[in-house]
């Protein structure tokens, strides 16, 4: 099952939801303010580097 990332239109909270398909967002609410119908946003994929410039264990082991 894919993980979709959403952003609340009311408070700006960004959160992830594990769901079968994007149509399941009907009735979805923000976990912070309970506002309805958050907007799905594009997620970035993991490159194996952290924000501090170090590589993760999976990249070091050749699983990238």
More confident residue, 12 or 48: 12
For the segment 19-64, what is each residue's pLDDT rounded down to a tens digit? 877 666 678 999 999 999 899 998 766 544 444 444 444 444 444 4
> pTM of the entire structure?
0.61
The closest of 61, 12, 64, 56 to 38, measured between CA atoms, is: 12
């Amino acid at each position: 099952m894919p993980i979709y990332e959403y952003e609340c239109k009311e408070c700006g909270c960004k959160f992830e939801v594990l769901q079968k398909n994007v149509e399941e967002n009907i009735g979805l609410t923000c976990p912070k303010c309970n506002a309805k119908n958050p907007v799905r946003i594009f997620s970035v994929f993991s490159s194996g580097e952290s924000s501090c410039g170090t590589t993760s264990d999976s990249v070091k082991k050749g699983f990238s």
